[in-house]
Amino acid sequence: MKILVTGGTGYIGSHTVVRLIENGFDSVIVDNLSNSKEDVVDKIRQITNVRPAFYKADLLDKESLSEIVKKEKPEAVIHFAGLKAVGESVALPLKYYHNNITGTLHLLEVMQENGIKDIVFSSSATVYGKPESVPIKEDFPLSATNPYGATKLMIEDILRDLYKADPTMNIAILRYFNPVGAHKSGLIGENPNGIPNNLVPYMMQVAAGKLEYLRVFGDDYNTKDGTGVRDYIHVEDLAGGHISALKKLAQRPGIVTYNLGTGIGYSVLDMVKEFSGVLGRELPYKICGRRPGDIDECYADTSLAKKEIGFAAEKNLKDMFVDGWNFQKTAER
C-alpha cells in the first residue's frame, strides 16, 4: 500500500517513513524543505535499505501537488507538513494560517479529486488549551491559546466537517504530547536552526557546550516540585502510533481521535536529573521566570489509544535522552 507523507523529511515524518518501510508500506514524501533537509532521504535509505520517493514541493502549490498525486496514486495520506513554532506563530500569524490551513485545504481538495479517502493528521495536545485536570482525555474541551494551536484546532474542525459531508472518509486525528529523542542509529533526529524553543533540544545544546545553562521557566507552578510537568514521548514510539492508526483506518472506522503520549508526567527538574545521569555530569541550570502562555501540567490519558489501536509507548525517559544525545553527537561530527 502506498502512503503519501507530507512533511516526510521533518522530525516526526522521517521516523514515521522508516516505520512505514519496515512495515511493508511504500511511501512518497512531499516536503518543501522549509524546516528539513533533503539528505534525510538518504539517511532513511541508510537505515532501511529503501530510498522513498521524494518530491520537493509546497502544499501551497496545488498544481504540483495534484501532479504528484496523479502520478504516484497513493491510497492514503499522513499529513505532517506544517509550521510549528508557537512563538513565531504569535509574531507571524498570517504566515501560520496561510501555510497550515491553505496547505491542508489544497491537500484535502486533491485527495477528493483523486478519490483518496484515508488520512492521518498530526494534531497536538495544544488543542486542549489550559486543561482543567490531568490526565487529559480526548473528550475534554478544546481551545487555542496561540495561532499555531488555532491552526491545529481549525484543521480538526475542517476534518470533522468533511467527514459529516462524506462519511465514506476515514480520518485519524492524532494528538501528540511532547515528542523527543531520535532514531537509535543516530542518523535522524531533531536539529532545530538557531536557539531551540523546546526543552529537550535546548538541553542537548547546553550539554554540547553551545549554550551555557538551561533556563528553567518557573518553579512556582502547582506541581510536585514547582516546575512544569509534561508527557514526553519517544519519537520512535510516536512513529509506531501512525502504523497503528493506518491499520485502524483499513477497518473503515470513520473519524477517530487519539492521544499519543506515555501517560506519565515529568517535571523540568526530573528531566535535568535524568539527562545528568545519562551524561555522567550535572547539566547546568538556573531557575528563571515563567514563560508566558505555559501551563502547569499536561499529560495524556492513553487508555483510548490502547483499547482501540493497541498503542502503548515502550521507551522510557532514559531511552529518550540516550538516543537524543547520540543523535546530537553524531550531528556534530
Catalytic residue annotation: 148
3-state secondary structure 23-34: CCCEEEEEECCC
The closest of 122, 192, 178, 126 to 320, measured between CA atoms, is 178
Nearer to ligand NAD, 12 or 53 (CB): 12
x/- letters, 103..122, toward ligand NAD (CB under 6 A):
x------------------x
Task: Work out whether strand 76-79 and strand 2-6 pair parallel, antiparallel, or are unpaired.
Answer: parallel
> How far apart are alpha carbons 152 and 4 in whole angstroms?
20
Nearer to ligand NAD, 74 or 179 (CB): 179
Nearer to ligand NAD, 151 or 326 (CB): 151
The closest of 304, 317, 194 to 265, measured between CA atoms, is 317
The residue count for binding ligand NAD (CB under 6 A) is: 26
**Residue 60 interacting with ligand NAD (CB under 6 A):** yes
Which of 5, 10, 43, 268 is close enough to bind ligand NAD by CB under 6 A? 10
At 307, list the grid cell.
483499547
**Residue 300 interacting with ligand NAD (CB under 6 A):** no
Nearer to ligand WQD, 195 or 250 (CB): 195
DSSP string, 220-269: -SSSSSSS-EE-EEEHHHHHHHHHHHHHHHTT---EEEEEES-S--EEHH
**Residue 12 interacting with ligand NAD (CB under 6 A):** yes
x/- letters, 22..41, toward ligand NAD (CB under 6 A):
---------xxxxxx-----
Strands of the sheet containing 297-298, edge to edge, are 266-267, 229-230, 297-298
Binding site for ligand WQD (CB under 6 A): 84, 86, 124, 126, 178, 197-199, 202, 214-217, 228, 230, 268, 291, 294
DSSP string, 161-178: HHHHH-TT-EEEEEEE-E
- Find the shortest distance in angstroms from Cβ 65 to ligand NAD: 9
Which of 13, 52, 149, 196 is close enough to bind ligand NAD by CB under 6 A? 13
The closest of 310, 43, 49, 23 to 188, measured between CA atoms, is 43
Report yes or no: 162 and 79 within 8 Å, Cβ to Cβ.
Answer: no
Query: Using CB distances below 5 to 8 A depending on partner kind, what does residue 217 bind out of ligand NAD, ligand WQD, none?
Result: ligand WQD
**Residue 236 interacting with ligand NAD (CB under 6 A):** no
Please give the residue whose beta carbon sits closest to ligand NAD in the complex. 10
Q: Residue holding cell 557546550?
A: 209
Contact footprint for ligand NAD (CB under 6 A): 7, 9-13, 31-36, 58-60, 80-84, 99, 103, 122, 124, 176, 179
